[in-house]
Amino acid sequence: MSKSIVVTGDNFDNEVLQSPVPVLLDFWAAWCGPCRMIGPTIEQFAEEYSGRLKVGKINVDEEDELSRRHTIRSIPTLVLYKDGKIVNQAAGALPKKDIEALFKDLV
């Protein structure tokens, strides 16, 4: 069972900007091999850190406006929000420890 949420333009403010916990956003696409590689790790973090970290998935093909707003140039791109502000960002199929390092000190 997936613990991550689908983030869209309609729920972005509520789910991300107003979240009481840090939010890790995964900008991805179904056709993206590296996105599929890190997908299980992202889902694992959603379960492991449930209640302390919110994990959101943004499909770049379906959410063009959110992708433009975040200046997404390559995928996967991970963006970490805390208190409504971007505090960390990384692109590429990173190893698990590098992804965890993006948010570990904030949860």
Determine which one of 16, 32, 46, 80 is catalytic.
32
User: CA 76 to CA 93: how far, in whole Å?
Assistant: 7
DSSP character for 81?
E
> What tokens appear for 65 in the block?
């406006």
Determine which one of 35, 42, 46, 66 is catalytic.
35
User: CA 4 to CA 7: how far, in whole Å?
Assistant: 9
User: Does residue 35 carry a catalytic annotation?
Assistant: yes
β-pair type (85-91, 77-82): antiparallel
Which positions are annotated as active-site residues?
A: 32, 35
